[in-house]
């Protein structure tokens, strides 16, 4: 058996998931090499999925480093799944956690762009995204957290981020530190039409209760209005962007949240 110093250092990433009671859902985790500049996938390793002391199951990573485990949650609520690496002669990795949100399909879902919560320059040329790993993330804009807490009383909140998957632990820590209402963080794939593709996928999975979202770009707003959903531009975004005609432009976060009464 190789010593821990001789093993490849791995990085586990687990993803938040939404599900409905009694319906099968897939838990997803990635195992990557924890390199300085690159993070190639590590295939052929067994991952253990646990909820507390209960073993949910085990799955092997494929050539893309991804492991999938199907489960059937029974009741509405939030649970935390821990993903760890089984004993391996080749790799060592610290445990990762993700949340499974089991939601009632009769209750509305509102999408919220995480980067839209941060104050941004009103000049498009000077806009700066949330800092990357290792930098301090700005606090949410004044009034945003309280407005989301009010909205959380009426709807489920699903947070979206266009960031890198390596930033997920930091994003979770950031939302916890600023006491945002609990909700899954879903990564949007890079490129145009990313939200449109996700909306199509959620619709196929039966999530027809997505009422709309508070977004940061005109493209995201268009994805919502094209599917007859409410698009609300975050008060923090640049006003110069050309928004779809039906986009609501609130003056503050309280007004943004009121659009989903």
User: What CATH number does the domain containing 127 carry?
Assistant: 3.40.50.1000
The pLDDT score that the predictor gives to residue 241 is 77
123 lies in the same domain as 198 = yes
Asked whether residue 3 is assigned to any structural domain, the reply reads: no
The predicted-structure confidence for 174-232, as pLDDT tens digits, reads as follows 999 999 999 999 999 887 789 999 999 999 999 999 999 999 999 999 999 999 999 99
153 lies in the same domain as 251 = yes
Question: Which range marks the domain in which residue 156 is found?
Answer: 109-258
The pLDDT score that the predictor gives to residue 142 is 87
Pick the last residue of a domain from 46, 78, 102: 102
- Residue 158: half-sphere exposure toward Cβ, Cα within 13 Å: 26
The pLDDT score that the predictor gives to residue 4 is 63
Question: Total structural domains in the chain?
Answer: 2
236 lies in the same domain as 128 = yes
91 lies in the same domain as 137 = no
Per-10-residue mean pLDDT, the chain, length 261: 77 98 97 92 98 96 98 97 97 96 98 88 43 66 95 98 92 96 95 92 97 96 97 84 92 96 89
Pick the last residue of a domain from 52, 83, 102: 102
pTM greater than 0.95 = no
The pLDDT score that the predictor gives to residue 129 is 47
124 lies in the same domain as 180 = yes
Dihedral (CA of 41, 42, 46, 49) sign: negative
The pLDDT score that the predictor gives to residue 135 is 53
172 lies in the same domain as 245 = yes
Query: Can you give the chain as a three-state secondary structure string?
Result: CCCCCCCEEEEEEECCEEECCCCCEEEEEEEEECCCCCCCECCCCEEEEEECCEEEEEEECCCCCEEEEEECCCCCEEEEEEEEECCCCCEECCCEEEEEEECCCCCCEEEEECHHHECCCCCHHHCCCCCCCCCCCCCECCCHHHHHHHHHCCCEEEEEECCCHHHHHHHHHHHHHCCCCCCCEEECCCCCCHHHHHHHHHHHCCCCCEEEEEECCHHHHHHHHCCCCEEEECCCCCCCCCCCCCCECCCCHHHHHHCCC
80 lies in the same domain as 137 = no
64 lies in the same domain as 113 = no
The pLDDT score that the predictor gives to residue 123 is 42
Q: Is 34 exposed, middle or buried (0-12, 13-18, 19+ CB in 10 A)?
A: middle
Tokens of 68: 């999938």
Can you give the CATH number for the domain in which 56 is found?
2.60.40.10
């Amino acid at each position: 058996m190789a010593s821990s110093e001789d093993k490849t250092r791995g990085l586990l990433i687990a993803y938040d998931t939404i599900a409905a009671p009694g319906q099968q859902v897939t838990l997803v985790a990635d195992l990557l090499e924890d390199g300085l500049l690159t993070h190639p996938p590590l295939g052929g390793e067994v991952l253990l999925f646990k909820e507390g002391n209960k073993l949910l199951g085990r799955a092997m990573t494929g050539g893309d480093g991804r492991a999938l485990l199907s489960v059937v949650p029974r009741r509405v609520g939030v649970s935390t799944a821990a993903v760890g690496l089984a004993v391996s002669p080749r790799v060592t990795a610290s445990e990762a956690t993700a949340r499974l949100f089991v939601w009632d399909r009769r209750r509305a879902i509102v999408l919220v762009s995480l980067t839209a919560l941060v104050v941004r320059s009103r000049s498009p040329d000077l806009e700066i995204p949330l800092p990357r790993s290792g930098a301090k993330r700005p606090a949410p804009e004044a009034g945003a957290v309280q407005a989301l807490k009010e909205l959380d009383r009426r709807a489920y909140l699903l947070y979206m981020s266009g960031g890198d998957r390596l930033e997920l632990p930091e994003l979770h820590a950031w939302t916890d530190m600023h006491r945002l209402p609990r909700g899954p963080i879903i990564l949007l794939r890079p490129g145009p039409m990313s939200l449109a593709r996700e909306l199509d996928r959620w619709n196929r999975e039966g999530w027809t209760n997505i009422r709309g979202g508070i977004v940061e770009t005109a493209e995201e707003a268009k994805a919502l209005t094209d599917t007859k959903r409410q698009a609300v531009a975050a008060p923090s975004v640049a006003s110069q962007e050309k928004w779809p005609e039906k986009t609501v432009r609130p003056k503050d976060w309280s007004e943004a949240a009121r659009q989903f009464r």
